[in-house]
Amino acid sequence: MDVRVDEITGVRFLHGPHPFPSFPGRAILPVQFLDPDGETVLHCYVHDLYDGQRMRSEKLQAWRALRERYGDRDESRVDRGTLLAARP
């Protein structure tokens, strides 16, 4: 895999239901890094999100803090890791 930082022009924060039916009632917190076409070129998930049946609050807070760093929006534009102004 080869992903250059200067090719990443957006970041997307998702919070949704776990895609596998074997984890009912659980959520996932992925972060997607986007190319100029809005396609995901790299993604990651918050690891070890649950402690038994409860979501770890510190994990959710860390995801929220990162999202806030990038404009507290579901999707933001970036240039070499720097937040750009929101599109009108």
Query: Mind giving me the DSSP string for 23-57?
Result: STT-EE-EEEEE-TTS-EEEEEE-SS-EETTEE-H
> Would you list the domain boundaries of the chain?
5-83
pLDDT at residue 87 greater than cutoff 80: no
Predicted confidence (pLDDT) per residue in 43-71, tens digit = 999 999 999 889 999 999 999 999 998 89
18-41 pLDDT, tens digit each: 988 888 889 999 999 999 999 999
CATH class (in words) of the domain with range 5-83: alpha beta
Dihedral sign from CA coordinates of 14, 17, 18, 20: negative
